[in-house]
Chain A
């Protein structure tokens, strides 16, 4: 067998292992499914009428769920991916990693297995969250091309954030810190255009909200599915994703190698 087919076989083995973990210990499912569903219920069922009324006066027409669903879907993707850092950190702090490292297997397969597993879980949760949003009254009106673009962007974001999460998991000394650090990123969509337009925020927060990575992504998805203006946001989103991907991948690879040289 060539080394490429070794890599593929080993990655498939590691993916099976990580998916099995996910079924046994569904922490990530909680993050990527339960949190967005709770937020949908909270913001649509409880706060939706008031927020929607305020919003309609200023910006859009239609019900509040049409405004809030894209942001919450993206928030689910972000928090789901970031929980990969806990799984990676647990692997690194347990003895099994030393066993893998003394075996003649593809070096990258362990991390790639985590990333693929995260992508699969996030995709499934995202479909379910969209289903819940539709059940709650969301009426997106994008065609197949728009939906394809939405999933393309979400998968790219998931890929990029998961590599970032892998890096965090590798440098965290305990699973607790691996679970706390990503909260900064999971919280970012809140200080963006998820729930209210950035124009309604105070100056300082507004500046931050407009220039942070999640706002252009939310605006892109919103534009694709509800017909608002997209403009440069699509391009900015893709650039952000690629930037996070390159940084996260480079960081993870460096941290994985460094870990091997030390103790």
Chain B
């Protein structure tokens, strides 16, 4: 068989069920309860995202499922093996890329990969071949012989993931894989993750980036204070929060008053300083036209109109109570209006 330098290497199909499940997973550190009996079910060959604010217990869940620490209770199976009773069988089937890069800074990128290949006992030639292949695929060939301590953040993440993939794991744990990466590197990693899924690998991902979960995950669970507060597809979760709204901005206080009077009960919120009204509505063309007609007939001029459809941010804020711990910018409770840039007219 021949294949060109750029084509991804063919991966063997997963030989056994590659999913994972947890029933009643519990863990405390001292008297601090971190995971309060969570249930998870991830089908083989799918992407599952565990979403939650800092301190929700995401990393603890990954560390337990990847055999790094023991659970206090619960029935856990990964790739068909019991995590507590057969940790080595689980380890042979998984790959883990943690939040902090797990690379050897005193080795070169190539040496790191060969080290992993040797620990997977791939054999000298096969190990070197895989290492070269992954370096090429992860755009690290030029830096292959440089010490990892000289790599940029994005390069380290790519190398980290390459080291995880060299043993062809059937289940991959990714703990906030794109935290701190620039948008381009993030998209690159997403592409790599999708390739793995296409090869039948199961991905268990934690993230606090809602867009990431939305982009990648088949199913999403929202973890808050050690409990799963919601689970479903991105679309299902979005349906959990009340429909969207339309935001209207006016030129002056008089117009704002008139409009508020005219629209009456449909007004959800009013901001006298920003001269905006938040009006219930899904942003459909018909309802928008009806609303504008009413304002027109009352001789009120609308300066600006924007439509806000519910996204995972709203789900997250509604479910976890306090979204302030989220790492991305500008998503507090008070400045919702500023974020309504989805469909500015």
B101 with A95: CB separation less than 8 A: yes
**Is A59 engaged at the interface, CB distance under 8 Å to the other chain?**
no
Q: Which residues of A from 97 to 115 have beta carbons under 8 Å from B?
A: 98-105
Map CB proximity to B onto A84-106 as digits: 1 under 8 Å, 0 otherwise.
00000000001110111111110
**Is B118 engaged at the interface, CB distance under 8 Å to the other chain?**
yes
Q: Which residues of B from 128 to 183 have beta carbons under 8 Å from A?
A: 147, 163-164, 167
Q: Which residues of B from 104 to 128 have beta carbons under 8 Å from A?
A: 104-107, 111, 115, 118-121
* Cα–Cα distance between A10 and B92 once the two chains are bound (Å): 14
Q: Which residues of B from 23 to 50 have beta carbons under 8 Å from A?
A: 29
A263 with B69: CB separation less than 8 A: yes
Q: Which residues of B contact A21 (CB under 8 A)?
A: 106-107
**Is A262 engaged at the interface, CB distance under 8 Å to the other chain?**
yes
Q: Which residues of B contact A16 (CB under 8 A)?
A: 118
Map CB proximity to B onto A20-46 as digits: 1 under 8 Å, 0 otherwise.
110011000000000000000000000
16 pairs, CB–CB < 8 Å, chain A vs chain B: A9-B118, A13-B119, A17-B104, A20-B106, A24-B147, A95-B101, A98-B96, A99-B102, A99-B164, A100-B119, A103-B120, A103-B167, A104-B89, A260-B68, A261-B69, A263-B29
- B interface vs A, CB < 8 Å? 29, 66-70, 88-89, 91-92, 94-96, 98, 100-107, 111, 115, 118-121, 147, 163-164, 167
Q: Which residues of A contact B100 (CB under 8 A)?
A: 95
Contact of A24 among B94, B98, B106, B163 (CB under 8 A): B106
Q: Which 7 A-B pairs have the closest CB atoms?
A: A95-B102, A99-B102, A104-B92, A104-B91, A13-B118, A95-B100, A102-B96
Instruction: Tell me the smallest distance from the CB of A17 to a CB of chain B, in Å.
Output: 6
* Cα–Cα distance between A99 and B88 once the two chains are bound (Å): 13
Knowing A24-B147, A98-B96, say if A105 contacts B119 (CB, 8 Å): yes
Q: Which residue of B lies closest to A12 (CB)?
A: B118
A17 with B107: CB separation less than 8 A: yes
What would 16 more interface pairs be, CB under 8 Å, given A17-B107, A99-B164, A104-B89? A6-B121, A13-B118, A17-B115, A20-B106, A20-B107, A94-B105, A95-B101, A96-B102, A96-B103, A98-B96, A101-B67, A102-B67, A260-B68, A262-B69, A263-B29, A263-B69
A103 with B91: CB separation less than 8 A: yes
Instruction: Tell me the smallest distance from the CB of B179 to a CB of chain A, in Å.
Output: 13
* Cα–Cα distance between A99 and B113 once the two chains are bound (Å): 12
Contact of A10 among B67, B105, B119 (CB under 8 A): B119
Q: Which residues of B contact A24 (CB under 8 A)?
A: 106, 147
Q: Which residues of A contact B111 (CB under 8 A)?
A: 20
Instruction: Tell me the smallest distance from the CB of B203 to a CB of chain A, in Å.
Output: 15
Q: Which residues of A contact B163 (CB under 8 A)?
A: 99
Q: Which residue of A lies closest to B96 (CB)?
A: A102
* Cα–Cα distance between A98 and B95 once the two chains are bound (Å): 11
Instruction: Tell me the smallest distance from the CB of B97 to a CB of chain A, in Å.
Output: 9
Q: Which residue of A lies closest to B93 (CB)?
A: A104
Contact of A96 among B70, B92, B104, B118 (CB under 8 A): B104
Instruction: Tell me the smallest distance from the CB of A38 to a CB of chain B, in Å.
Output: 26
Contact of A98 among B68, B92, B120 (CB under 8 A): B68
* Cα–Cα distance between A48 and B89 once the two chains are bound (Å): 63
* Cα–Cα distance between A95 and B164 once the two chains are bound (Å): 13
Instruction: Tell me the smallest distance from the CB of B248 to a CB of chain A, in Å.
Output: 50
B70 with A261: CB separation less than 8 A: yes
Q: Which residue of B lies closest to A1 (CB)?
A: B121
Q: Which residues of A contact B98 (CB under 8 A)?
A: 95, 98-99
Q: Which residues of A contact B120 (CB under 8 A)?
A: 103
Contact of A101 among B68, B103, B115 (CB under 8 A): B68
Instruction: Tell me the smallest distance from the CB of A104 to a CB of chain B, in Å.
Output: 4
Knowing A9-B121, A263-B29, say if A99 contacts B96 (CB, 8 Å): yes
Q: Which residues of A contact B68 (CB under 8 A)?
A: 98, 101-102, 260
